Structure 1
Amino acid sequence: MKLTLSENIRSFRKERKMTQEQLATVLGVTVGAVYKWESGLSVPELDLIVEMADFFDTSVDVLLGYRINDNRLDSIVSRLYTYSRTLDPAGIVEAEKALAKYPHSFKVVFACADLFLTYGANSKDSRFIRRALELDEQARVLLPQNDNPRISEANIIHNMSIAYYELDEKEKGVELLKQHNVLSHFSYEIGSTMAVFMNQTEEAVQYLSEALILGMSHMLCATIGFVFVYCSRGDWDSALNIVTCCNNLISELRVDDQPGYMTKTHAEVLLLLAYVSWKKGLMEEARDALREAARLTNLFDSAPEYSLKSMRFIEHAEYTNAFDTLGPTAAESIEHMLNLLDDPFFTQQWKEILNLEQ
């Protein structure tokens, strides 16, 4: 708890255009006493604090600079996250107070675990990190209380793995992630940790391949979503920038002229690139993108292959299988996207170029 009595005495005195000598006379103390109060070297007796509050026409609370905390559960949790973000040392004491007051609250326990992990990782203090692990275990038990859709057991597991890494117990952290690697959610961390820090490079390949596939999928979905966002805003510059980035990455990840799922994916991205270029008035660039999209559409649909053998860096790709919700063939996917774009003139341009490529 931080009080601002010394600053407030000085502030109230100056508001009344009084010198320290004048205030000392009013209160019947020495100038030295007033100087020490305002410098924070000493604190006036309680009766003098009350007398000063009365003289300055304020309350004792205001003079002291005391503000009562909102100690409702949600307010406490909000403060704990603020302490964690700012690394305020007061957060440790406040966390323990919160745990004493709400020992069986998921919100409090989870927030305190996050706070202790943050402090421990930044200070390299193993006591805080082990405290975070204890609280994370407790949070898993209390998880049925959770009503935040953005928090699940995966968050807790991830935080526990970080704690083990910080304690130089990486094997425990990786094993924990492996046990909870639903839908390859933690493959990126498992693979990178094994390859970089544990000298288990060959075993890491499977996880790194899964992570690269998942990362590509996320990037593709996000890019398509953003393109439609920017189109709705008429922000063609941003739409062109993001679809160009995606196209460049897909180009680097796709094995040239190897029919496969990446061929279909690249055709879809090129169609968006062509559409945005068209809207930007870049007609030649748009036609080039449409011609390449048409070529890849025909390449894929001539021999559909849904594995990811057409994706570079992926090992054991023969065991992979990919699909999207746009359509089973490249032509159907393109047609679906054209319907969503709802631009008859652009659709006609696509049909003409597709017919020429065929």
Structure 2
Amino acid sequence: MKIKLAENIKKLRKNHSLTQEQFAETLGVTVGAVYKWEAGLSTPEIKLIVEIADLFEVSIDALLGYEQQKDNIDTRIENMKQYMLEKNFREAELEAQKALKKYPNNFAVVYSSAYMYQLKFMEEKSENAMEQSNELFHKSISLLYQNTEKSINEASILNRIAENYLIGGKIEKALECLKQNNICGINNSLIGFIYAYKLKQPQEAKPFLIRSFVDIINAVIHTVAGLAYMYAELDDEASIEATLWLNDFLDSIKTNNNDIILTDKIKAAVLAQYAVWNAVFGHLDVSKEYITKAYFLAKQFDTAPIYSVQGIKFFKEENISATVYDGIGKTAMETVEKIIFDEETEATPYKYIQNIWKDLKKDELR
């Protein structure tokens, strides 16, 4: 059996933003005593161990850090999960109660139990289950220092609490929680939906939904472009298919196909990349057609660039500034030229594209 008392005292003290001096003063001991505890040179008296556990709101076994308890905790959590899969919430709840009684300040136990009560609430519409779920989720936030799962953090837990309120019909509480926890706009779409659908407040919904839709456009661009580059590295013509799909998506969000809009700078780059990959795979006629399209679209965009959401579907008469990130060039022409000229290669497909581009620029000067 291995005890991690020294390690845990130091970790808990730092997690609670206490210096050794502040910690020592709180317990009525010397700084030297705290130093020795954390260095593993001595052990606090039993009475002090109880005080430390109480101060940091952890169980004594959690403070001591018995490694032998982990298997037991994991077993109970797995049992709970299995009962949840079977929708046997009676047994799942009994398992949670046993685990919480034995390990009341273990993050994995508290979080798993909160999630179990959330599913029980969704399945049985029991308000008591919702309250227990939210209470445990709130408690799990104070125990996050134990968490090792990167996908779980304070923001994700607060959103689970908001989800409980929303499903339970407590719309105002859900909205308040979502807005307080709207880090980097992660809840814009849901907040906008609640204002528009649940509260019938379209003007309140508008800014959230506009920002959300712009974020969706950025996410689609990054995701599908990423897929295209991934397939290109695998010498798979699916790169061409993905790029064409992205081009069609950018067209689909236009109110009028003949208008130049915010995303046409990106579209010029997409057309250029589509031309490059067609050349790489030997489709030279298609490549020439699309590099020509990329050239004239880039020229057209740069003549009168637009950086608002005007012309994008669903945003009628809006003049809100927005950004769709390409991270390549300041202008559409610069963006396209980086795609076709920055590749350090003497490969024939790139030379083919580059020569067509140079000819197009010469023709413009005549």
| TM-score for both structures, normalised by structure 2 | 0.70
In the TM superposition, residue 155 of structure 1 has moved relative to its aligned partner by 0.9
Amino acid at match of 1:318: I
In the TM superposition, residue 345 of structure 1 has moved relative to its aligned partner by 3.0
Counterpart-to-counterpart distance in 2, 1:322 and 1:110:
37
Amino acid at match of 1:209: I
Counterpart-to-counterpart distance in 1, 2:344 and 2:272:
10
In the TM superposition, residue 188 of structure 1 has moved relative to its aligned partner by 0.9
Question: Residues 279 and 353 of structure 2 are in contact (CA less than 8 Å); yes or no, is this contact kept in structure 1?
Answer: no
For residues 145-166 of structure 1, give each alpha carbon's deviation from its aligned partner in whole angstroms, at most 9, with x where no partner exists: 3332222222112211110111
Amino acid at match of 1:142: L
Amino acid at match of 2:336: I
Question: Residues 236 and 279 of structure 1 are in contact (CA less than 8 Å); yes or no, is this contact kept in structure 2?
Answer: no
Amino acid at match of 2:72: R
Question: Residues 70 and 76 of structure 1 are in contact (CA less than 8 Å); yes or no, is this contact kept in structure 2?
Answer: no
Aligned partner of 1:191 in structure 2 is 192
Aligned partner of 2:99 in structure 1 is 98
In the TM superposition, residue 173 of structure 1 has moved relative to its aligned partner by 0.8
Counterpart-to-counterpart distance in 2, 1:78 and 1:298:
60
Amino acid at match of 1:332: E
Report the CA distance shift for 1:218/1:78 in structure 2 as closer, same or farther (over 3 A).
farther
Decide which structure has the larger Cα Rg and report it: 1
1:261 and 2:250 aligned = no
Counterpart-to-counterpart distance in 2, 1:350 and 1:317:
37
Aligned partner of 1:109 in structure 2 is 110
Amino acid at match of 1:301: D
For residues 317-350 of structure 1, give each alpha carbon's deviation from its aligned partner in whole angstroms, at most 9, with x where no partner exists: 4333444322222233234434459574333333
Aligned partner of 2:330 in structure 1 is 328
Match of 1:348 among 348, 351, 360: 351
Question: Residues 99 and 109 of structure 1 are in contact (CA less than 8 Å); yes or no, is this contact kept in structure 2?
Answer: yes
For residues 275-325 of structure 1, give each alpha carbon's deviation from its aligned partner in whole angstroms, at most 9, with x where no partner exists: 344445444333333222222221223344433435333364433344432
Q: Equivalences for 1:238-257 in 2 at 5 Å? A: 239-254=239-254, 256=257
Q: How many residues align?
A: 289
Aligned partner of 2:154 in structure 1 is 153
What is the percentage of aligned positions where both structures have the same residue?
23
For residues 63-109 of structure 1, give each alpha carbon's deviation from its aligned partner in whole angstroms, at most 9, with x where no partner exists: xxxxxx98433454455445444534332222222222221122222
In the TM superposition, residue 233 of structure 1 has moved relative to its aligned partner by 1.9
Amino acid at match of 1:190: I
Amino acid at match of 1:120: F
In the TM superposition, residue 264 of structure 1 has moved relative to its aligned partner by 0.9
In the TM superposition, residue 186 of structure 1 has moved relative to its aligned partner by 0.5
Amino acid at match of 2:332: A
Question: Residues 247 and 270 of structure 1 are in contact (CA less than 8 Å); yes or no, is this contact kept in structure 2?
Answer: yes
Counterpart-to-counterpart distance in 1, 2:336 and 2:85:
45
Counterpart-to-counterpart distance in 2, 1:348 and 1:115:
60
Question: Residues 262 and 310 of structure 1 are in contact (CA less than 8 Å); yes or no, is this contact kept in structure 2?
Answer: no
Aligned partner of 2:233 in structure 1 is 232
SS at match of 1:318: coil
Report the CA distance shift for 1:349/1:165 in structure 2 as closer, same or farther (over 3 A).
same
Counterpart-to-counterpart distance in 2, 1:311 and 1:75:
53
Which shifted more, 272-281 or 295-304? 272-281
Amino acid at match of 2:320: E
Amino acid at match of 2:204: E
Report the CA distance shift for 1:79/1:273 in structure 2 as closer, same or farther (over 3 A).
farther
Counterpart-to-counterpart distance in 1, 2:300 and 2:86:
54
Question: Residues 157 and 176 of structure 1 are in contact (CA less than 8 Å); yes or no, is this contact kept in structure 2?
Answer: yes
Counterpart-to-counterpart distance in 2, 1:211 and 1:351:
38
Report the CA distance shift for 1:190/1:300 in structure 2 as closer, same or farther (over 3 A).
same
Aligned partner of 2:303 in structure 1 is 302
For residues 233-284 of structure 1, give each alpha carbon's deviation from its aligned partner in whole angstroms, at most 9, with x where no partner exists: 22223x2333232221111114545445311111122223333444454443
Report the CA distance shift for 1:121/1:236 in structure 2 as closer, same or farther (over 3 A).
same
Q: What are the ranges of 5 or more consecutive residues in structure 1 without an aligned counterpart?
A: 1-68
Question: Residues 163 and 174 of structure 2 are in contact (CA less than 8 Å); yes or no, is this contact kept in structure 1?
Answer: yes
For residues 118-173 of structure 1, give each alpha carbon's deviation from its aligned partner in whole angstroms, at most 9, with x where no partner exists: 22212323222222111111122222333322222221122111101111112211
Which shifted more, 89-98 or 166-175? 89-98
Over the aligned positions, Cα root-mean-square deviation in angstroms equals 2.8
Aligned partner of 1:176 in structure 2 is 177
Counterpart-to-counterpart distance in 2, 1:354 and 1:186:
43
Report the CA distance shift for 1:351/1:306 in structure 2 as closer, same or farther (over 3 A).
farther
Q: What are the ranges of 5 or more consecutive residues in structure 2 without an aligned counterpart?
A: 1-68
Amino acid at match of 2:330: P
Counterpart-to-counterpart distance in 2, 1:218 and 1:80:
36
Question: Residues 294 and 354 of structure 1 are in contact (CA less than 8 Å); yes or no, is this contact kept in structure 2?
Answer: yes
